[in-house]
Amino acid sequence: MSDWRGRDRTYRLCAYGSILCLFAFLFLVENYADEYQIRILNVSAIFVTMAVSYNLINGVAGQFSLGPNAFMAVGAYTTALLTISPAEKELCFIIEPIIWPLSVLHLPFLPSLLIGGTFAALLGFIMAFPVFRVRGDYLAIVTLGFGEVVRVVANNTQSITNGPLGLKGLPEYTNLWWSWGVAVFTVFCVTRLVKSSFGRAMQAIREDEVAAAAMGINVFRHKMLAFVVHAFFAGMAGGLMAHLVTTISPTLFSFFLTFNLLVIIVIGGLGSMTGSIIAAIIITYAGEWLRAVEEPMAIGPFNIPGIPGMRMVVFAIMLILVMIFARQGLMGRREFSWEWFCGFLRTGERRG
Amino acid sequence: MDLPLFLQQLLNGISLGSLYALIAIGYTMVYGIIRLINFAHGDVLMVSTYFTYFGISVYALPWWLSVIIAILLTALLGILIDLGAYRPVRHAPRVSALITAIGVSFLLENLGLVVFGGRPKAFYRPDFLNKTYELAGVHVFSLSIWVPLVTALLLVLVFLLLYRTRVGAAMRAVAKDMEMVQLMGVDVNRVISLAFAVGSALAAAGGIMWAMKYPQINPLMGIIPGLKAFVAAVLGGIGNIHGAVLGGFLLGVMEILLVAFLPSLAGYRDAFAFILLILILLFRPTGLVGKGASG
């Protein structure tokens, strides 16, 4: 067996091993950590899913979309409408009764989640036709517009979404296994896609659309593929989020959510999945730590009043500073690989 | 629908449209010169209403003096935002500038929440704007007349600035070809600062009238007028100041008439602007007027 094939096998074993370690860690957390820790880990996983899929369209394909909140909303609502029991729905829809097929549908979590993702992907497929007729900052505005339209529609279709009241009483299905399982699955699928010929075509489009088209790449189809895959995983993440917070309303899926994701992928580095994963976890935890800033503090004899809203101020300043001073973010476009890691260890050995 | 009611709604539409037009000019000026969608424009407008609020309620100044001071301070704010956030990324890829602008927008909104608090505050409305007249069966709210009048005055001033002064000529020239103008010895950065100042001042005027129209202000109030004015700018053809004015009036009138004629769609009012935007970009991406005066 040649050397590279052996090394390839080692790297693959490393990858499986690390996933196993992750799940062993989750097992420990689930049994020994408190509710709060588990919740933050769940949120981190959902943000990893969202950020990685969002980075596919923004970082890899270079199409600056501002509409992931639309897909998350569709995913969340679809999943929630399928998992809430018919009795609960009747209690929930007090202003207008829910329309027929939705009122009796009741499915387990996994199929609901997949259907949620599929519906989001379907919306992505339909949106792709108008959206990819424009480029650059216009594309940003159009996707932002779609995000707003989805929110307004959710606010107004009383008999499907229960309007501004939102849906209540979702079963609390999301746990560490679901959230991290989906996160690992997403990272696996997206990184495979990026490394495939499709992914290379997407990167070519990002660098130079005209040149890519001249090389025979079907520009529209590859943009569409990135967009639909992004939409599917964002929809799944929306479903997971809905079943973590157990109450959803249109305000949950405002531009605010997109802004959080944007901060994550920009800080991680546009185009780097590793960066997105790291930044998603850092930002989730940073958000929790910054919660302390928003609460009143007593340092010795001094009482410092809490400053609500401070977290977002910090994130906004961070985003601007990263753009001005460190446009590459944490990782630039680099990715973690076992090859790099083993090389790193080996040079460490040599030094030591 | 009878004629008086139609006229009344038309007047409301024109009054709303003139606010969109004022705000849209700021977008289009900045975009025309540095090709940046200034996401923070709507939030600049919000800050201007707070300046006015503090002038009237905290420092007990006469309302007209507070308005003038607020407009000047907002112009200064526009220049500072350009200096602090946009100038460092001017030669970066355009997406970086766009992300910076989104960051500035969120910074202003959340600083607003931190500094001013999230609770809405009542906004002062001078007495002469509070009257209702009746003309041939048409009920006319005096604010709805004053807003288009003030707007018309400001528009005349802006066009005088653009077409009758040296800096105006420089501004139009920079929008045409920045590098060439730089070679001719024009200080481009000063021209850009001026564009931000004028745009922000107009947004302030629009925002203050907006706040008088819906006499309440909060730190997130700038988002909707900002987004809709942007749609108005694109509708007219972004980078074109005449287009922005036309787009603003059209959007305002269409929006009001839509709500008046089809009340069942009133809930979709905020989506209407975006659907319109998507349709324009699909079928006529250069807008109604297209590249013109300062494109």
Query: Which residues in chain B touch residue A152, judged by CB atoms under 8 angstroms apart?
Result: 267-268, 270-271
The residues in A 242-271 lying below 8 A from B, measured between CB atoms, are: 259, 262, 266
- What's residue A257's pLDDT? 92
Query: How many Å lie between the alpha carbon of B6 and the closest alpha carbon of chain A?
Result: 26
- Cross-chain Cβ contact B111/A313 below 8 Å: yes
pLDDT category at A2 given cuts 50, 70, 90 is low
Least confident of B10-24, B38-52, B245-259, B277-291: B277-291
- What's residue A169's pLDDT? 85
Q: How far is CA B24 from CA A1, A263, B17, B34, B38, in A?
A: 68, 27, 10, 16, 11
Tokens matching residue A257: 């959510």
Query: How many Å lie between the alpha carbon of A146 and the closest alpha carbon of chain B?
Result: 7
Query: How many Å lie between the alpha carbon of B116 and the closest alpha carbon of chain A?
Result: 11
Least confident of A10-14, A40-44, A114-118, A319-323: A10-14
Given a cut of 50, whether residue B250 has pLDDT beyond it is: yes
- What's residue B293's pLDDT? 39
Question: CA B161, CA B173: separation in Å to the nearest integer?
Answer: 14
- Cross-chain Cβ contact A137/B94 below 8 Å: yes
- What's residue A350's pLDDT? 63
Tokens matching residue A64: 């600056």
Given a cut of 90, whether residue A90 has pLDDT beyond it is: no
> CA A218, A224, A229, A235: dihedral to nearest 10 degrees?
180
Q: How far is CA A259 from CA A15, A51, A144, A316, in A?
A: 32, 11, 11, 9
CA closest to B274 among chain A residues: A145
Query: Considering only CB atoms, which residues of chain B are within 8 Å of chain A?
Result: 35-37, 85, 88-89, 92, 94-96, 98-100, 102-104, 106-107, 109-111, 113-114, 118, 227, 230, 234, 267-268, 270-271, 274-275, 277-278, 281-282, 285
3-state secondary structure of B217: strand
Query: How many Å lie between the alpha carbon of B216 and the closest alpha carbon of chain A?
Result: 21
Tokens matching residue A69: 């909140």
| Cα–Cα–Cα angle for B232, B235, B239, rounded to 5 degrees | 85
Q: What percent of chain A has pLDDT over 70?
A: 94
Query: Which residues in chain A touch residue B267, judged by CB atoms under 8 angstroms apart?
Result: 152, 155-156
Stretch B82-97: mean pLDDT:
90
Given a cut of 70, whether residue A304 has pLDDT beyond it is: no
Query: Which residues in chain B touch residue A293, judged by CB atoms under 8 angstroms apart?
Result: none
Question: CA A126, CA B213: separation in Å to the nearest integer?
Answer: 39
Question: CA B229, CA B238: separation in Å to the nearest integer?
Answer: 11
Question: What pLDDT digit, counting tens, does each position of B140-197 carry?
Answer: 888 888 999 999 999 999 999 999 999 999 999 998 888 899 899 889 999 999 999 9
Stretch B45-60: mean pLDDT:
94
- Cross-chain Cβ contact B37/A140 below 8 Å: yes
Angle between the N-to-C axes of helices A136-156 and B223-236, in degrees from 0 to 180, rounded to the nearest 10: 130
Query: Are A80 and A269 within 8 A, CB to CB?
Result: no
- Cross-chain Cβ contact B102/A319 below 8 Å: yes
- Cross-chain Cβ contact B96/A153 below 8 Å: no
According to DSSP, the residues that pair with B139 across neighbouring strands are: B134
Tokens matching residue B255: 């929006």
Identify which has the larger pLDDT, A181 or B268: A181
Query: How many Å lie between the alpha carbon of A247 and the closest alpha carbon of chain B?
Result: 23
- Would you list the DSSP string of A121-164? HHHHHHHHHHHTTS-HHHHHHHHHHHHHHHHHHHHH-HHHH-GG
- What's residue A306's pLDDT? 65
3-state secondary structure of B218: coil
Given a cut of 50, whether residue B295 has pLDDT beyond it is: no
CA closest to A322 among chain B residues: B100
Question: CA A276, CA A54: separation in Å to the nearest integer?
Answer: 9
CA closest to B114 among chain A residues: A309
Identify which has the larger pLDDT, A179 or A96: A179
List the single residue in B37, B106, B234 with the smallest CB-CB distance to A312: B106
- Cross-chain Cβ contact A313/B114 below 8 Å: yes
Please give the interface size between A and B, counted as residue pairs whose CB atoms are below 8 Å apart: 104
- What's residue A92's pLDDT? 81
- Indicate the burial class of B86 (C-beta count within 10 angstroms; 0-12, 13-18, 19 or more): buried
Identify which has the larger pLDDT, A234 or B126: A234
Stretch A221-237: mean pLDDT:
96
Query: How many Å lie between the alpha carbon of A304 and the closest alpha carbon of chain B?
Result: 14
- Cross-chain Cβ contact B281/A138 below 8 Å: yes
List the single residue in B234, B270, B285 with the smallest CB-CB distance to A148: B270
The residues in A 311-350 lying below 8 A from B, measured between CB atoms, are: 312-313, 315-317, 319-320, 323-324, 327
Given a cut of 60, whether residue B292 has pLDDT beyond it is: no
* CA proximity to A191, closest of A18, A47, A55, A84: A55
pLDDT category at A117 given cuts 50, 70, 90 is very high
